[in-house]
Amino acid sequence: MCLLAIQYQSVLEAPILVAANREEFYERPSAPPSIQSGKPRILCGTDERAGGTWLGVNQHGMFVAACNRPKSDNSYPSRSRGTLCRDLLRAASARDARNVAREELATGRYSGVNYVCVDLESGWVIHGADELEAVELREGLSIIGACNVNDTRDERVELARRLLTLQTLDSHVKFLAVSSKVFSRPPSPAGRASIIRRDPDRGTVSSTLVSLGKKPRDAIYQYAAGAPDEATYNDFSPFLRDILSRGLRESRTARANLPS
């Protein structure tokens, strides 16, 4: 499973703010974020076993992530959830990505998953469990774990919310500072809700912080290649700014070429 917090449309200079811990089997290899070939350009990490990703941003400023969740019928998954996550990052907008996710998940080819698809125009969480549901994100803080978005019955989600809201998250600087500490909180004693998980065969394997605004130069992408209580966050912001600037230039060129 994974844990993801997103603050949406409540900070003017950075309408999309994300903190996410990825959980996976320790033996499953992955590569750190890099710019992917093809269009649109995408910055994401890569699952080296299936070729997909768990989280990324494309040149249109759209953020997409996948959080695994239980599903009663996982007997015949025939396609990687991470592969679909990469497909969603090829969409032009969050609404388009939402539609692709719903169509694909309706085929029954995937294990349980929550997809987060967000841009400046709209934000969505698609629950791919026993029932398929797309939920529009409201302004403010939302937290996604192994159940539905903002599920108050999920002790881990409630722990993250409590820790994140001890201070007012009224700027991207404050959000990144607070969430980096919260998502680096060491594992709790057995039997208690925990931000970082460290089980014998699987646990928290990486962490990502993202800030997206209207100006590419202000975008931030930080990545820890390990549980963030042990690994430091490294800055991949120049890569993100590069693809966002490319996207902005292409958009301006396309508009300039429209017939008058």
pLDDT tens-digit readout, 205-252: 999 999 999 899 999 999 999 999 999 999 999 999 999 999 998 888
Residue 187 has pLDDT above 70, yes or no: yes
Residue 58 has pLDDT above 70, yes or no: yes
- Residue 75 has a pLDDT of 64
Phi/psi of residue 185, nearest 5 degrees: -65, 125
- Residue 259 has a pLDDT of 73
Q: Counting beta carbons within 10 angstroms of the beta carbon of residue 157, is it exposed (0 to 12), middle (13 to 18) or buried (19 or more)?
A: buried
- Residue 260 has a pLDDT of 64
Q: What is the pTM of this model?
A: 0.96
- Residue 74 has a pLDDT of 63
Q: Counting beta carbons within 10 angstroms of the beta carbon of residue 164, is it exposed (0 to 12), middle (13 to 18) or buried (19 or more)?
A: buried
- Bridge partners of 5? 19, 143
The C-alpha atoms of residue 220 and residue 106 are separated, in whole angstroms, by 34
Residue 185 has pLDDT above 90, yes or no: yes
The C-alpha atoms of residue 21 and residue 5 are separated, in whole angstroms, by 9
Contact 232, 223 (CB under 8 A): no
Query: What DSSP element (H or E) covers 46?
Result: strand 42-47
- Residue 72 has a pLDDT of 85
The C-alpha atoms of residue 74 and residue 63 are separated, in whole angstroms, by 27
Of 3.60.60.10, 3.40.50.2000, 3.40.50.11540, 3.20.20.80, which CATH number belongs to 3-256?
A: 3.60.60.10
Residue 35 has pLDDT above 70, yes or no: yes
- Residue 141 has a pLDDT of 98
- Residue 257 has a pLDDT of 78
Q: What are the tens digits of pLDDT across the range 83-130?
A: 999 999 999 999 999 999 999 999 999 999 999 999 999 999 999 999
Calculate the dihedral angle through the C-alpha atoms of 8, 137, 32, 88, rounding to the nearest 10 degrees: -130
Q: What are the tens digits of pLDDT across the range 139-182?
A: 999 999 999 999 999 999 999 999 999 999 999 999 999 999 99
- Bridge partners of 66? 115
